[in-house]
Structure 1
Amino acid sequence: MIELVRTNDPVVISFIEALLRDARIEFFVADQNMSIVEGSLGVLPRRVMVASDEIERAKRLLVDAGIKDEIRDA
């Protein structure tokens, strides 16, 4: 899997999850449970990971949704 997005913003993560789910793109949110370690401060970023064969489609989806600045190495 390839990192699509890295952010501390739970709203952005939720929006991206909804977009990917609706597009039937398989994804995984890494570091989601790190809030236990950090004390729920939101300091550690979460990473949205997408299969390598779907990464370009996922990037296009985020661009079309107006959040291209969230794409890692856009």
Structure 2
Amino acid sequence: MIELVRSNDPVFLSWLLAALQHEGIETFVLDAYASAADGSISAIPRRVMVDDGDEPRARRVLALADELGKGAAP
């Protein structure tokens, strides 16, 4: 497994996990419980992991997130 991204943004993570699932890419989120136990200071980002073979497709989904963040239409 490879680390696709780290983030403390729950909205972004929710969108990303849904988009990856829609593409049939299995994910594993590390540090979710440590991040929640940390409270509101967000010192521990959650890490989204994907299978090595899914990395190219997952990176394309991540690139789409970047485009959407800049105001591009889906």
The TM-score bracket by the shorter chain reads 0.7 to 0.9
Q: Which structure has the higher relative contact order (CA within 8 Å, separation 6+)?
A: 1
Structure 1 runs not aligned, ≥5 long: 69-74
Aligned to 2:5: 5
Deviations 1:1-35 (A, max 9, x none): 10000011111110100101111101111100012
TM-score, normalisation: structure 1: 0.79
- Kindly report the root-mean-square deviation, in angstroms, between the aligned alpha carbons of the 2 structures: 1.3
Aligned to 1:66: 65
Higher helix share: 2
Q: Larger Cα Rg: Structure 1 or Structure 2?
A: 2
* Contact 2:16 2:65 (8 Å CA) reproduced: no
Aligned residues: 65
Structure 2 matches for 1:1-74, cutoff 5 A?
Answer: 1-34=1-34, 35-36=36-37, 38=38, 40-41=39-40, 42-63=42-63, 65-67=64-66
SS of the residue 1:57 aligns to: helix
The separation in 1 between residues aligned to 2:46 and 2:20, in whole angstroms, is 16
Q: Amino acid of the residue matched to residue 67 of structure 1? A: D
Identity of aligned residues (%): 43
